Amino acid sequence: DRALVWFRRDLRVDDQAALYRALTGARQVFCAFVLDRDILDALPRADRRVEFILGALQVLDEALRRHGGALIVRHGRAADEIPRLAAELGVQAVFCNHDDEPQALARDALVAGRLEALDAELRTFKDHVVFERRELMTAAGGPYGVFTPYKNAWLRKLDAFYLGSYPVERHAAALAPSGLARGVPTLANIGFKPAGLSPHVGQGSRGAEALLDDFLDRIDQYGRTRDFPAVKGPSYLSVHLRFGTVSIRRLARLAHQRMLGGEHGAEVWLSELIWRDFYHQLMHHHPQAMTAAFRPEYDAVRWETGPQADALFAAWCEGRTGFPLVDAAMRQLRQTGYMHNRLRMVAASFLCKDLGLDWRRGEAWFAAQLLDFDLAANNGGWQWASSSGCDAQPWFRIFNPTTQSEKFDAEGRFIRRYCPELAGLPAKAVHAPWERAPLQMQGVDYPRPVVDHALARARTLERYAVVKTRA
């Protein structure tokens, strides 16, 4: 009895559910990853995520080799490559972890059907979140739609079982040293160019380890620091959670233990990990909300369209709106593939409620740019900001981008980092340069505000009024 482990968003050996199940269930276990053309062919030729994945595969291959196995990497359509490999290797089962994105589910159903025709089966497991799918339901038996009760139920249900780690190493003897493994291809091998991945991101599970070490030294400060983009407050682990180069169970266990020990920072951080689970279970229960408003009445909102709206959208993408905090955020995204959480909220709110543009346009830009892009979290974040989501920001609450800037980047440190043309302005002026330092701004290549916030706010309240009548 032979098995194949198909790695997807779980690029690690430690505490990996499908790998553990295969090792304990089969005599010989092969490991594979498919650089899926269905996904890759749609990307621009330079994409940081492709670079991140290849780096992570390298570390994964090394780890498997240390245990006597090796990683087979194929470049093609996953739906073709996995059944083909299963046939070549003569395996009876392919093991993988759940990926609940609608497109991934469709792909997996196709693969399962093709395997069945080969007399093999696709066996899938929970690995990506602590609680998934229907594991946490309300007393009435429905899915949770409000975060706080969900979080309370999550914490109540949590015990050592759900946080336990899979002792993969103990069973590593079943790993097959595959002759089909020819090393991880380079970017050039698969037709990509370097995109400039920041070294801070770290390579695969080794990089995650370094970031985690660093974060654990300051996790007690997290509650105080997490909202200030100029400060090293958050963990920067999102890309590692996205690609599974770190185990969510391990992170939740660390945070939970510290929380029980009375550490406030760890408690706040655990709450963020619970938001992640929350958005994943929402995606499972409401796949239609991945393209439409979670609250259908919000699809009656009429967004700005036409050439002027397109120009505003371009200014937003390029970080040239004339609102320094928004611009600094959008430039951080383009230059690094990361954006601080506070800034994601500010930039998203600005798109919907200051520019009057459909949240889906912003969502798509983030999806293309974010290294940690994750459909469930990104859609959840956007629908929170546009007020169309479940448990979202109320529609009449509208961030003032200048006030947000004064509050969360008071000295303008973050702004100066990404908008160096404003570096010479005093702290007071940096949040609204044209208004507060017009003379100093003469000759500075920085745009005037593309909208007037007070007017935009009034228009947005009118725009969203349709919701009141339909709700």
How are strands ordered across the β-sheet holding 121-125?
Answer: 71-76, 28-36, 2-7, 93-97, 121-125
378 is a catalytic site residue: no
Report helix, strand and coil shares of the chain as percent, to nearest 5.
Answer: 55, 5, 35
Enumerate residues 244-303 that contact ligand FAD by CB under 6 A: 272-273, 275-276, 279
Q: Are 338 and 372 in contact (CB under 8 A)?
A: yes
Residue tagged active-site, from 6, 316, 359, 384: 359
Contact call for residue 229 and ligand FAD (CB under 6 A): no
Contact call for residue 378 and ligand FAD (CB under 6 A): yes
**Tokens linked to 179:** 């002759």
303 is a catalytic site residue: yes
Q: Are 270 and 263 in contact (CB under 8 A)?
A: no
Q: Are 365 and 315 in contact (CB under 8 A)?
A: no
359 is a catalytic site residue: yes
DSSP H helices, 261-306, are 264-285
Applying CB under 6 A, the span of 195-203, 367-375, 412-420, 432-440 interacting with ligand FAD comes to 367-375
Measured from the CB atom, the residue of 122 and 352 that comes closer to ligand FAD is: 352
Residue tagged active-site, from 62, 121, 209, 275: 275
CB of 9 to ligand FAD, least distance (A): 11
The verdict on whether residue 373 carries a ligand-binding annotation is yes
Count how many residues are written for the chain.
471
Measured from the CB atom, the residue of 203 and 238 that comes closer to ligand FAD is: 238
Question: Phi, psi at residue 94, to the nearest 5°?
Answer: -110, 130
The verdict on whether residue 274 carries a ligand-binding annotation is yes
User: What is the C-alpha separation between 449 and 435, in angstroms, rounded?
Assistant: 9
Helix H or strand E encompassing 53: helix 48-66
Measured from the CB atom, the residue of 16 and 271 that comes closer to ligand FAD is: 271
132 is a catalytic site residue: no
DSSP annotation of 393 reads P
Q: Are 145 and 390 in contact (CB under 8 A)?
A: yes
- Please tell me the count of residues contacting ligand FAD according to CB under 6 A: 28
CB count, 10 Å around CB of 314? 10
Closest of 392, 329, 397 to residue 366, by C-alpha: 329
The verdict on whether residue 275 carries a ligand-binding annotation is yes
Residue tagged active-site, from 132, 303, 304, 406: 303
Contact call for residue 382 and ligand FAD (CB under 6 A): yes
Applying CB under 6 A, the span of 107-115, 255-263, 298-306, 369-377 interacting with ligand FAD comes to 369-377
User: By rule CB under 6 A, what string of x and - marks binding of each residue 113-132 to ligand FAD?
Assistant: --------------------
Tell which one of 96, 111, 385, 425 touches ligand FAD (CB under 6 A). 385
382 is a catalytic site residue: yes
Measured from the CB atom, the residue of 375 and 441 that comes closer to ligand FAD is: 375
User: Token pair 């994964």 is at which residue?
Assistant: 60
365 is a catalytic site residue: no
The verdict on whether residue 372 carries a ligand-binding annotation is yes
Q: Are 29 and 22 in contact (CB under 8 A)?
A: yes
* Binding stretches for ligand FAD (CB under 6 A): 226, 234-238, 241-242, 272-273, 275-276, 279, 341, 344-345, 348, 366, 370, 372-374, 377-378, 380-382, 385
Q: Which residues are annotated as a binding site for FAD?
A: 222, 269, 272-279, 372-374
